[in-house]
């Protein structure tokens, strides 16, 4: 693969802080290696801005290998940009052409307020997890032997596929309703599929859904955009499973 | 000369931990809410420690610089976690895990700590399964295992190539439960910028709220540092961009000794460097060495032709390939420990057989073709087809590989634009993990009373080289099963202390120092970005304190870092303000500490006149290029005491390592 260099124009959302009014600003960036990741391109732009004594663009990122879920960005109208099955840090500039204009915005959702520029506050996800995304087992290590309850491989695999969610929020950002049901459905499913999680399944789904509603996320209308944009390919089945769990729990709740 | 007391309990090694736990002091449940504990970092060690301490009833404040505790870099660990369960009935035991870890660490780790690690390893798996961690399973519903480097058993538990993610999310769920119950107060987007000592004891921290820039004082009766490793001193590493040494380094400057800083793990299988704007290196899990074979061409002209793009690796005939690990180390083959595999790759590339067309020609192949054929044949047989066509064999083999390593193959393809199912992966070693860290005793307490250190941030378990799948094990062992006991023992004497005030002169002074430094950076008005200096430091470190070190190079590194540090303080430009989200300021504060640490690493490498594990001194190797250890003179952990900015003043303390249960021997993987 021979590396090439391209010149691009960027239209980027700038916003001083959560109270300030933001706007799209235009930047020209030359000599971008097509082997660079999208975030490395932004590093290059920031280096240029710093050298021009302008304020660099704030964006969230950390692991840069598609697993921490910290990077976000709405690129040319798509969560994590014009590729599937990846996060923004795994998006490479070979997806763009010389002369392209690229639009970069933060996640757009009422439940994810902008902190600065492209950085948003996703702590609503943490609060949903705190409402019930766990098994209530103490950390003594004095549990039963790990192999004492066999788990069918298909259940374990499905639980893993749901648990692969990285909590980036692309599902919310891409949803026209700003719904977090793919995120919550994945967590509910992981536990519902495993014997260890079944004991508290009813309370869990009720509590997590209540918190999800309180945070101001919208509802699901089965469009399926979330599944397409999810970097980890979390399936819509998880939303269906959560709905079943929720219905069962709501109908049979003893409280 | 040593004033280090490792506090290793008396008695036979298999009973030490149990006896010790029975003797440790306790804090009664009604007293625990009167006691505050700070945990810095929310990776495996930090999240598990905070969850456990919160569950016990202490008031816990946990800090992370990311936007959520779930982002900590433990999440990126791919391959697996070791545990001496012997589910595969292949002769594994606590003793063998203990032995493999000591040997893998090239006989530079403390026996008692490592034994305890092996002892609690099984509990970790039980605990995680109980928490709903979805490990890989076999069709019978039992947990699956695989093999990792440096061992001859299958003891590694895994969840595809995302084991770290699943374990961290498990610890995060335990932590979330305690946050929800109000037992742990979580402070996201906060960075610790100093440790506060009162009367010689750790009594709190100064932290910066990264959103509004506020400098905050937090007091506690004990502080647990679980802030990870310092691999980012090299700029390019497999660490996350934000991983840094600041919390540990501030503790070091306040009196915590820093042990074995020169022990750095260079991981053999990473994607090679591609260009100057590159920001990080990506690991390809060691688990791939279960299935992949590492090779370079036998003929130099073939390597040259590949680099020039005239030949493809698939065109090189079998007899023209040098599977150099299988050749040099037939007993362990492609599964030799990481340090051995990395040096062997460097040796081949230095000799001119590298295959990557980058500035340094550094790259070797990791080839799955043999495994695809073997597993495809197996799968065909399992379907009753005892004479499968080549196409069918390959198709089934690819499916098998996809199931095992699918996410890794996809990750590789996205980065390199090459399909590893069709052509071998290109890989090269990269900085990955740091075995060195703050010195701790058996209780994981540093030389500052009340300052405990867990996970990669301490030095305790991996000696001079860490075996694969052991970092996750250590993080959770420290956090779930060691810290809760030993911190309680310390806190038993604190039940009458009362709340630690934050308006003391000690807090005033620490806060002022932090604010002054921030002000200095913001008004410095230099001409170069923080990254400019970080990249320069990284190059010095990689070239002179990297995979091969020499007396001359190390001395040069110390001089060059001094000059670079002066230039940094004179000429760095940090834009923006103190009272806002300011990533450039965050970086400046971190790089300032890396510029000091780098020198200590070089100094430590200089004094260690031997080669062991990840530390390879060119002067000390045998005729075949293997490491030459010097047990007579260097069988100690080097713990450095900070004595000011002049690195030559730092004082070395030695903890002699005693081997009572393992016979110390030359490491042999042949």
pLDDT value, residue A253: 66
How many of the other CB atoms lie within 10 Å of CB of A19?
7
Interchain contact, A92 vs B48, CB within 8 Å: no
Go through chain A and tell me how many residues it has: 255
DSSP 8-state code for residue B157: E
Question: How close is the nearest chain A Cα to the Cα of B203, in Å?
Answer: 26
Nearest beta carbon to residue A139 from set B55, B531, B581: B55
- Domain match, A87 and A22 both: yes
CA separation for the pair B115, B388 (Å, rounded): 48
Residue A44 confidence (pLDDT): 97
Strand-pairing partners, residue B223, are B38, B451
The CATH code of the domain that includes A224 is 1.10.1060.10
Domain that holds residue A70: 5-115
Say if residue A221 is in the same domain as residue A199. yes
Q: What is the pLDDT of residue A125?
A: 98
pLDDT value for B1: 43
Q: Please, what is the average pLDDT of chain A?
A: 96
Distances (CA, A) of B559 to B117, B541, B593, B640, B648: 39, 12, 17, 19, 11
Domain co-membership, A225 together with A156: yes
Cβ separation of B137 and A153 shorter than 8 Å?
Answer: yes
B-chain residues within 8 Å CB-CB of A156? Answer: 134-137, 141
Q: In angstroms, rounded to a whole number, what is the distance separating the alpha carbons of residues B567 and A231?
A: 42
Say if residue B603's pLDDT is above 80. Answer: yes
Q: Give residue B277's pLDDT.
A: 83
From B130, B241, B274, residue closest to A35, measured CB to CB = B274
B21 has a chain A CB within 8 A of its CB: no
Q: Which residue has the tokens 């990269």?
A: B430
What residues of B are in contact with residue A151 (Cβ under 8 Å)? 137, 141
Shortest distance, CA B189 to any CA of chain A (angstroms) = 10
> Does residue A52 surpass a pLDDT of 80?
yes
Given this model, what pLDDT does residue B329 score?
95
> In 3D, which of B370, B365, B371, B390 has the Cα closest to residue B380?
B390
What is the DSSP code string of B327-387?
HH-TTTGGGS-HHHHHHHHHHHIIIII----STT---EEEE-HHHHHHHHHHHHHHTT-SS
Cα gap B330→B27, rounded to integer Å: 54
Chain A residues in contact with B240 (beta carbon < 8 A): 62-64, 68
Q: What angle do CA B411, B412, B417 make, to 5 degrees?
A: 110
Closest partner CB to B134 (pick from A51, A137, A194): A194
Give the nearest chain A residue to B244 (CA atoms): A62
Residue B194 CA to residue B205 CA, distance in Å, equals 6
B interface mutation test: which of A67, A151, A169, A201 has the most B CBs within 10 A? A67
The complex's ipTM works out to 0.98
H/E run at residue B419: none
Residues of B in contact with A51 (CB under 8 A): 529
Q: Which residues contact B636 (CB under 8 A, 6 or more apart)?
A: B654, B655, B656, B657
Low-confidence winner among A67-81, A134-148, B269-283, B428-442 (lowest mean pLDDT): B269-283
Considering chain B, what percentage of its residues have pLDDT values greater than 90?
A: 92
- DSSP one-letter string for B255-309: T--EE-TT-EEEEEEEPPP--TT-----B--GGGGGT-EEEEESSHHHHHHHHTT
Residues A243, A131 share a domain:
yes
* pLDDT tens string A107-132: 989 999 999 999 999 999 999 999 99
Q: What is the pLDDT of residue B669?
A: 84
- Contact between chains at A125 and B174 (C-beta distance less than 8 A): no
Kindly tell me the burial class for residue B176, based on how many C-beta atoms sit within 10 Å of its own C-beta (0-12, 13-18, 19 or more): buried
Among B177, B237, B415, B588, the residue to mutate for chain A (most A Cβ within 10 A): B177
Q: Does B535 touch chain A (CB under 8 A)?
A: no
> What pLDDT sits at residue B406?
86
Give the sign of the dihedral formed by CA B189, CA B195, CA B197, CA B201: positive
Number of folded domains that form chain A: 2
Question: Measuring CA to CA, which residue among B361, B433, B424 is closest to residue B614?
Answer: B433
Write out chain A residues lying below 8 Å of B129, CB-based: 143, 146, 196
Instruction: Please indicate, yes or no, whether residues A96 and A172 belong to a single structural domain of this protein.
Output: no
pLDDT on residue B649: 97
Domain boundary among A91, A115, A139: A115
What is the structure's pLDDT at B668?
A: 81
A62: chain B residues, CB-CB within 8 Å:
66, 71, 73, 240-242
Per-residue pLDDT averaged across B5-29, rounded?
97
> Is A110 in the same domain as A171?
no
Question: Are residue A217 and residue A135 in the same domain, yes or no?
Answer: yes
Alpha carbon distance B589, B538 (integer Å): 16
Residues of B in contact with A55 (CB under 8 A): 575-576
- The whole-angstrom separation of Cα B308 and Cα B290 is 30
Alpha-carbon distance of B400 to B394, in angstroms, equals: 10
Q: Dump pLDDT digits (tens) for B229-278.
A: 999 999 999 999 999 999 999 999 999 999 999 999 999 999 998 877 88
Separation of alpha carbons B103 and B118, rounded Å: 13
Detail the DSSP E strand segments found in B578-630: none
pLDDT of residue A138: 96
> Which residue of A56, A68, A151 is in closest CB contact with B71?
A68
**Secondary structure letter of residue A193 according to DSSP:** T
Q: Provide mean pLDDT across the span B3-10.
A: 93
Burial (CB count <10 Å: 0-12, 13-18, 19+), residue B33: exposed
Q: Structurally, what CATH architecture does the domain formed by B268-430 represent?
A: Alpha-Beta Complex (3.90)
Q: What is the pLDDT of residues B326-353, one digit of tens each?
A: 999 999 999 999 999 999 999 999 999 9
The domain boundary residue, chosen from A58, A93, A115: A115
Please name the member of A50, A94, A147 whose beta carbon is closest to the beta carbon of B143. A147
Helix (H, G, I), strand (E, B) or coil at B389: coil
Residues A86 and A136 in one domain: no
Query: Quick check: B32 and B463 in contact, CB under 8 A?
Result: no
Domain B505-631+647-656, second-level architecture: Up-down Bundle (1.20)
A81 in Cβ contact with A102 (< 8 Å): no
Selection from A237, A48, A46, A17 nearest residue A114 by Cα: A17
Portion of chain B with pLDDT greater than 70, in percent: 100
What pLDDT was estimated at residue A1? 46
Q: What is the pLDDT of residue B403?
A: 85
**Any idea what the CATH number is for the domain that residue A109 is in?**
3.10.20.30
Over the range B600-628, which residues count as b (16 or more CB within 10 Å of their CB) and which as e?
bbbbbbbebebbbbbbbbeebeeeeebbe
| CA–CA min distance A143, chain B (Å) | 6
- pLDDT level of residue B148 (50, 70, 90 thresholds): confident
- What the block records as the tokens of B524 is 């410095």
User: Chain A within 8 Å of B359 (Cβ-Cβ)?
Assistant: no
- What was the pLDDT predicted at B404? 84
Q: CB burial class (10 A; 0-12, 13-18, 19+) of residue B669?
A: buried
Task: Give B488's contacts in chain A (Cβ within 8 Å).
Answer: none
Q: How far apart are CA A249 and CA A252, in angstroms?
A: 5
Q: Which of B48, B179, B242 sits opposite A62 (nearest CB)?
A: B242
Q: CA of B634 to nearest chain A CA: how many angstroms apart? A: 36
Q: Which of A115, A166, A197 sits opposite B132 (nearest CB)?
A: A197
Q: Do A123 and B68 touch (CB under 8 A)?
A: yes
Query: What confidence tens digit (pLDDT) does each residue in B155-180 have?
Result: 999 998 899 999 999 999 999 999 99
What the block records as the tokens of B560 is 């060059």
Inter-chain residue contact A125 with B417, CB threshold 8 Å = no
The predicted model gives A133-143 an average pLDDT of 94
What is the value of pTM for the model shown? 0.97
Continuous segment of H or E residues that includes residue B229: none
Separation of alpha carbons B217 and B208, rounded Å:
9
Which residues on neighbouring strands pair with residue B639, listed in sequence order? B259, B653
Indicate whether B196 pLDDT > 90: yes
Residue B2: what pLDDT? 53
Residues A56 and A135 in one domain: no
pLDDT band, residue A255 (cuts 50/70/90) = low
Start-end of CATH 1.20.58.100 domains in chain B: 505-631+647-656
Residue pair B430/B338 in contact (Cβ under 8 Å)? The answer is no
User: Are residues A235 and A154 part of one domain?
Assistant: yes
Taking alpha carbons only, the member of A243, A178, A184 closest to residue A211 is A184
Nearest residue on chain A to B175, alpha-carbon basis: A130
Judge: B162–A164 Cβ closer than 8 Å, yes or no: yes
Of A17, A131, A156, nearest to B134 by CB-CB distance is: A156
- For B87-128, the pLDDT digits (tens) are 999 999 999 999 999 999 999 999 999 999 999 999 999 999
Question: Which one of B159, B411, B417 has the shortest CB-CB distance to A1?
Answer: B417
Contact B411 A58 (CB under 8 A): no
**B583:A58 CB<8 A:** yes
Strands (E), B144-288: 156-157, 184-187, 190-198, 201-209, 215-219, 222-225, 258-259, 264-270
């Amino acid at each position: 693969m021979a590396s090439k260099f391209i010149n691009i124009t960027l239209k980027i959302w700038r916003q001083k802080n959560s109270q300030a009014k933001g706007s799209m600003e235009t930047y020209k960036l030359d000599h971008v290696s097509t082997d660079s990741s999208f975030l490395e391109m932004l590093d290059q732009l920031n280096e240029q801005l710093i050298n021009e004594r302008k304020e660099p663009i704030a964006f969230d990122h950390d692991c840069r290998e598609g697993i921490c879920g910290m990077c976000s960005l709405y690129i040319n109208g798509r969560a994590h940009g014009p590729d599937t099955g990846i996060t923004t840090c795994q998006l490479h500039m070979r997806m763009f052409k010389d002369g392209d204009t690229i639009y970069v915005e933060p996640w757009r959702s009422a439940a994810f307020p902008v902190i600065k520029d492209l950085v948003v506050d996703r702590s609503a996800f943490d609060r949903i997890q705190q409402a019930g995304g766990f098994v209530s087992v103490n950390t003594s290590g004095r549990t039963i032997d790990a192999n004492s309850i066999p788990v069918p491989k298909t259940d374990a695999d499905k639980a893993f596929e749901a648990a692969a969610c990285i909590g980036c929020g692309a599902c919310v950002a891409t949803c026209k309703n700003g719904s977090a049901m793919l995120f919550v459905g994945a967590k509910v499913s992981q536990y519902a599929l495993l014997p260890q999680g079944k004991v508290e399944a009813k309370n869990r789904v009720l509590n997590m859904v209540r918190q999800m509603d309180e945070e101001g996320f919208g509802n699901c209308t089965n469009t399926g955009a979330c599944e397409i944009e999810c970097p980890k390919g979390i399936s819509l089945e998880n939303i269906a499973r959560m709905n079943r769990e929720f219905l069962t729990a709501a109908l049979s709740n003893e409280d | 000369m040593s004033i280090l007391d490792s506090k290793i309990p008396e008695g036979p090694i298999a009973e030490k931990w149990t006896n010790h736990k029975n003797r440790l002091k306790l804090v009664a449940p009604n007293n625990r809410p009167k006691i505050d504990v700070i945990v810095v970092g929310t990776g495996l060690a930090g999240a598990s420690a905070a969850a456990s301490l919160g569950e016990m009833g202490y008031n816990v404040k946990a800090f992370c610089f990311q936007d959520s505790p779930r982002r900590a870099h433990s999440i990126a660990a791919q391959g697996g976690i070791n545990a001496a369960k012997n589910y595969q009935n292949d002769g594994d035991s606590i003793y063998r895990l203990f032995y493999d870890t000591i040997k893998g660490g090239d006989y530079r780790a403390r026996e008692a700590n490592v034994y305890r690690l092996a002892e609690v390893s099984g509990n970790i798996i039980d605990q995680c399964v109980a928490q709903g961690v979805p490990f890989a399973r076999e069709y019978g519903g039992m947990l699956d295992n695989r093999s990792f480097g440096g061992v001859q058993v299958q003891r590694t538990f895994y969840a595809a190539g995302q084991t770290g993610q699943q374990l961290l999310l498990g610890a995060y769920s335990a932590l979330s439960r305690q946050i929800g119950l109000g037992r742990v107060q979580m402070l996201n987007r906060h960075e610790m910028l100093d440790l506060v000592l009162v009367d010689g004891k750790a009594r709190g921290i100064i932290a910066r709220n990264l959103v509004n820039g506020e400098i905050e004082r937090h007091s506690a009766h004990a502080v647990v540092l679980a802030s990870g490793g310092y691999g980012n001193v090299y700029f390019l590493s497999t660490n996350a961009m934000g991983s840094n040494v600041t919390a540990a380094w501030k503790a070091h400057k306040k009196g915590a000794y820093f042990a074995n800083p020169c022990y750095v793990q260079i991981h053999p299988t990473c994607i090679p460097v591609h260009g100057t704007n590159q920001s990080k290196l990506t690991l390809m899990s060691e688990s791939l060495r279960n299935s992949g074979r590492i090779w370079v061409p036998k003929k130099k002209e073939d390597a040259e032709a590949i680099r020039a793009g005239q030949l493809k690796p698939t065109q090189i005939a079998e007899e023209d390939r040098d599977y150099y690990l299988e050749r040099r180390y037939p007993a362990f083959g492609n599964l030799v420990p990481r340090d051995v595999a990395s040096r062997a790759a460097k040796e081949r590339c230095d000799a001119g057989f590298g295959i990557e067309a980058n500035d340094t020609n550094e790259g070797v192949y990791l080839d799955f073709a043999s495994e695809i054929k073997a597993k495809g044949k197996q799968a065909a047989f399992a379907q009753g087809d005892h004479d499968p066509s080549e196409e069918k064999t390959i198709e089934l083999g690819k499916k098998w590989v996809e199931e095992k390593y699918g996410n890794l193959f996809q990750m590789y393809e996205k980065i390199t634009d090459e399909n590893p199912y069709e052509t071998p992966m290109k890989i090269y070693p990269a900085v990955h993990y740091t075995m060195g860290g703050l010195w701790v005793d058996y209780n994981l307490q540093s030389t500052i009373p009340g300052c405990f250190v867990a996970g990669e941030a301490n030095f305790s378990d991996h000696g001079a080289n860490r075996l694969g799948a052991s970092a996750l094990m250590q993080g959770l062992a420290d956090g779930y099963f060691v810290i809760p006991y030993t911190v309680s023992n310390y806190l038993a004497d604190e039940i009458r202390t009362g709340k630690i005030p934050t308006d003391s002169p000690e807090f005033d002074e620490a806060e002022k120092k932090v604010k002054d430094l921030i002000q200095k950076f913001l008004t410095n008005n230099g001409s170069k970005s923080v990254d400019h200096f970080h990249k320069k430091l990284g190059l010095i470190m990689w070239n002179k304190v990297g995979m091969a070190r020499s007396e001359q190079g190390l001395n040069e590194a110390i001089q060059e870092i001094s000059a670079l540090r002066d230039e940094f303080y004179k000429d760095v430009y940090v834009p923006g303000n103190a009272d806002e989200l300011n990533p450039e300021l965050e970086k400046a504060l971190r790089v300032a500490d890396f510029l000091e640490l780098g020198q200590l690493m070089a100094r430590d490498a200089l004094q260690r006149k031997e080669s062991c594990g990840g530390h390879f001194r060119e002067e000390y190797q045998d005729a075949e290029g293997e490491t030459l250890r010097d047990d007579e003179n260097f069988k100690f952990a080097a713990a450095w005491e900070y004595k000011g900015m002049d690195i030559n003043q730092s004082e070395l303390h030695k903890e002699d390592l005693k081997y009572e249960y393992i016979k110390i021997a030359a490491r042999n993987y042949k």
